[in-house]
Amino acid sequence: MRNFEKPTRSVAVSRHAMAATSHPSATLAALQVMEAGGNAMDAAIAASAVQCAVEPGSTGIGGDCFVLFAPNGSDEVIAYNGSGRTPAALTLDWFAERGLAEVPRRSPAAVTVPGAIDAWTRLHADHGRLPFADVLAPAVRFAEEGYAISPRVHRDWLLEQELLAADPAAARIFLPAGRAPKVGEVHRQPELAETLRRIAAEGRDGFYAGPVAQDMVGYLRSLGGLHTLKDFADARGEYVTPVTTVFRGHTVHECPPNGQGIIALLILNILSRFEARGDPQSPDRMHVEIEATRLAYAARDALIADPDKADVPVEELLSDALADRLAGMIDLRRALTDLPPFDMPLHRDTVYISVVDRERNAVSFINSVFDSFGTGLVAPRSGVVLHNRGQSFSLKPGHPNAVAPSKRPLHTIIPGMVTRDGRVEMPFGVMGGYYQALGHAHLISKVFDYGMDLQEAIDLPRLIPRPGGTRVEAEHTLPAATAQELQRRGFVITPAEDPIGGAQAIRIDWRNGTLLGGSEPRKDGIALGL
C-alpha cells in the first residue's frame, strides 16, 4: 500500500474508461471524445493531436508514430508502424561527399518523411468511430485559441531557445516575445490550426499532397534537402505482426524492428533468468538491470534496422539460447568491461498515450519528433515542426542501419501491451529515447516481479547506462547505499542530466471490472477515468 505521508500520487481508479497522457489537456480531450461516443482509438488520436499543439517540443504532426491496439479486450494485438522513410535520392555517398561522419541535427538530411498523419488517418479509418473532424477538433481549438504553458513544457522549451532562434519560422512561432513562453502564458499556433483543419477535411492528402506538402518539400529543398512531392505522396505506414515474449506468465507485445521494442523483450528475457526478491532498488537488482541493458543495447546497435532493407535476426534475438548466454555473462561481483561499443544518439522527446474504453478496446500509442523540437526547422506556412529521426541512421558503410534511399531508421519509440489468459491486461509505454527499452523492462519487472501498482512503479528512481565504458546516470533519488555499492563494483555513477524518461500505463482489473492507471510525475500529465 502507498505511504500517504510521501509526496506522491495515488494510482488512478475508474470503472468505465481511462486515459493516461503526459499533459492534462490531452488526457481530458481523450475522455471527452469517449464521452461523446468515440472509442479508444478516437481518444488516443485526439490526445496525440492535442499534444502536438500543447507539447510542441515533444511531438508534432511532422513526426512518426507507432501503435499497438487490442480490440474488444482480446489478446489479438494489432501493430502499426507509422515511421517514415528517407527521400529516394538520399544515399550514403551524399554524406561522404560532404565529409560528414554523422547526420547533423539542423539539416534536411535528418528529416525522414513524417509518418504520423498516415498512421492517424489509417488507424482512424479502420478502427475509429467518430468523424475525423470531431477527433481533431480539440487540437484545432488549442492551436487556434491558445493553451497555457505548463511547467515541464516550459522547461523543455527553454532549453531549445537557441535552436529555435536559428530558424525564421520557428523563431516567429515559438519565440513570439523573443524567448520561450513562461509558465502560465498563453501560446497560439494559427498555422498549425489551419493545417489540422485541412487534414480533418482531406485526410492524409491534406498532409502528403497539396499546399502542406508543397510547403514542407519547398522549405526542405531550399535548405539543400533531396525530398520530393513524390516522396511524400508515396509515404505509407503498415500493419505489422507484433513480437512477443512471456514474462512471469504474462505475454508482452512490442512492435517489431525497425523499432527497438524487441530489445525490451531481450532485457526481460535476461531478467527472467534472475530471481526477483527483496528490495527492488537493491544493489544486486540494479546491477542485473544495468548489465542486462548494456548487453541488450549492444545487440541493438549492431543488428536493429529496417527489415525491408536489412536482415534482422528476430528469432535469434528472442531465443532462449541468447538470453541464457547474456545472463551468464553477468557477474554480481563486478561490472562487465568487455562490451561492444555503443554509437546511438541519446536524449530524445516523445509523447506516450494509454487509453482503454468501455468495450475494453486498449490502445498503446506513441508519437515523436525525436529531439525536442526535432531539427528546429519549421515549414513556414503550415507550421509543421520537422523531426530529426534521420539522426538515428549509421553512416558506416555495410552497417545494417546505414542510410539508404527510401529506408526507415532504427526507431527508439516503442508502445507496449500486455495480455494474459486470452485477454488484454495493460497498454503501457515509457518515453525517453535511449531509455525506452530499459524503461519497458523496468516497469514490467516492478509490476510483475515485485507486485507494485502502476504509480508506485513509475515513481521509482531511475538510472540508465550510457554509451561506452561503465558510466551510469542515476536520478538523485536513487538510494545512496545502492549508488555507493554499484560504484564499488566498478560502475561509474553520475547524476542524471535530466529527469529520466516518462511513463503512462493502464491495467485492466477483469475480476472487479475496473481500471487502474499511472502517469509520469516527471511530466505534467495525469491519468483520469470515467
Please give the pLDDT value at position 342: 35
pTM of the model: 0.96
Residue 530 lies in a domain: no
Between CA 89 and CA 225 the distance in angstroms is 10
Task: Look at residues 35, 62, 130, 115 and name the one whose alpha carbon lies nearest to residue 373.
Answer: 62
> Are 91 and 230 within one domain?
yes
Between CA 370 and CA 160 the distance in angstroms is 13
Structural domain including 419 reads 240-346+414-513
Please give the pLDDT value at position 343: 41
The helix/strand/coil state of 365 is strand
* CATH number reported for the structural domain that contains residue 273 in this entry: 1.10.246.130
Q: What is the DSSP letter of 86?
A: -
Between CA 492 and CA 485 the distance in angstroms is 11
Residue 293 lies in a domain: yes
Residue 18 contacts by C-beta under 8 Å, 6 or more apart in sequence? 12, 354, 355, 356, 506, 515, 517, 527, 528, 529, 530
> Are 309 and 377 within one domain?
no
Task: Look at residues 314, 291, 294 and name the one whose alpha carbon lies nearest to residue 400.
Answer: 314
Please give the pLDDT value at position 344: 39
Q: What is the 3-state secondary structure (H, E, C) of 323-345?
A: HHHHHHCCCCCCCCCCCCCCCCC
> Are 271 and 301 within one domain?
yes
Amino acid at 168: P
Please give the pLDDT value at position 341: 45
Interval 446-458: pLDDT, tens: 999 999 999 999 9
Interval 291-310: pLDDT, tens: 999 999 999 989 999 999 99
Asked if residue 113 has pLDDT above 90, the reply is: yes
Per-residue pLDDT averaged across 481-492, rounded? 97
**Residue 270 CA to chain centroid, in angstroms?**
23
Please give the pLDDT value at position 349: 60
Nearest 5°: the CA angle 472, 457, 468 is 15
87, 220 Cβ separation under 8 angstroms: no
9, 518 Cβ separation under 8 angstroms: no
> Are 270 and 195 within one domain?
no
Interval 312-353: pLDDT, tens: 999 999 999 999 999 999 999 999 988 744 343 444 467 899
| Residues acting as catalytic residues | 350
Residue 507: pLDDT band (50, 70, 90) is: very high
Structural domain total, the chain: 2
Please give the pLDDT value at position 7: 79
Q: Alpha helices, DSSP H only, in 151-189?
A: 151-158, 161-165, 168-174
Interval 41-94: pLDDT, tens: 999 999 999 999 999 999 999 999 999 999 999 999 999 999 999 999 999 999
Interval 396-454: pLDDT, tens: 999 999 999 999 999 999 999 999 999 999 999 998 877 999 999 999 999 999 999 99
Q: What is the DSSP letter of 38?
A: -
Residue 5 lies in a domain: no
Residue 395 lies in a domain: no
